Amino acid sequence: MLGPMRSELAIASVTAVLKHVLENGLVQYAVTNSIGSDVVVSSIPPDRITSGADERAQLNLFLYQATPNTRLRARPLGNSERGMAARPPLALDLFYLISAYGAHDLDTDVLIGYALRLFHDTPTFSRDLIKKTLATLSSAGNGRATIPALAALAEPGLADQMEEISMSPQFVSIEEMSRLWSALQARFRPSAVYKASVVVINGGE
């Protein structure tokens, strides 16, 4: 699970790590050779993605729901330094919609296939991998730290508090998936749902 965090950056850190894993995996497997064009990995709401005959080859990782993790929520609480009952930590499961886009025959099939393989081959992301990924993403040397959300991940001690991310595929019926895409007000694309567990944010005193 993810260790207690000092801020809400825990959620953004998980998304950043998962996105980075997808980007590296597509490079590792030379997916551009399979579809004949560059592939973009994004983490934005599906309704902001241009779709249609000219849509680009793209994988999108969208956090659409965060729910309490009942297992950690049920743990007994200790006392704070002032002798008061400690406030429970905020333990969350994050649900991600992974969808594929492409303008040519089989582009979406190829991309969703690679995404599923990457998360199947690596269902758990180690603490060491998370630390290295956050250090890379928040480093000014790679040109990404100009984006405020990524620069924030460089907060001292943030990566040291991370433990691991467990990813598990979720069964979603066609009716549920249809309702989800309707709520997103976006065109349906080949998709899969994964749960990331567990993100814990300090509750304080």
Residue 99: beta bridge partners? 60, 191
Omega of the bond leading into 193 within 30 degrees of 0 (cis): no
Asked if residue 162 has pLDDT above 50, the reply is yes
State pLDDT tens for residues 6-27.
Answer: 557 888 888 998 999 999 999 9
What DSSP string runs through 100-146?
EE-SSTTHHHHHHHHHHHHHHH-SEE-HHHHHHHHHHHT-GGGT-TT
pLDDT confidence tier of residue 145, bands split at 50, 70 and 90: very low
Q: Report residue 187 as tokens.
A: 């065109």
* Amino acid 70: pLDDT: 77
Q: In whole angstroms, what is the distance from residue 100 CA to residue 78 CA? A: 45
Task: Report the pLDDT value the prediction gives residue 85, as an integer from 0 to 100.
Answer: 52
Amino acid at 74: A
Task: Identify the helix (H) or strand (E) that includes residue 204.
Answer: none
Residues in CB range of 187: below 8 A, 6 or more apart: 51, 181
**What's the pLDDT score for residue 94?**
94
User: In the Cβ-directed half-sphere of 143, how many Cα atoms lie within 13 Å?
Assistant: 0
Long-range CB contact pairs, 46-51, < 8 A, 24+? 46/97, 46/99, 46/181, 46/184, 46/186, 46/189, 47/184, 47/185, 47/186, 49/101, 49/186, 51/101, 51/186, 51/187, 51/189
pLDDT tens digits along 58-109: 999 999 999 988 776 555 555 445 545 566 677 889 999 999 999 888 999 9
pLDDT band of residue 141 (cuts 50, 70, 90) is low
Joined together, the tokens standing for residue 72 give 């950690």
Residues 164/128, Cβ–Cβ less than 8 Å: no
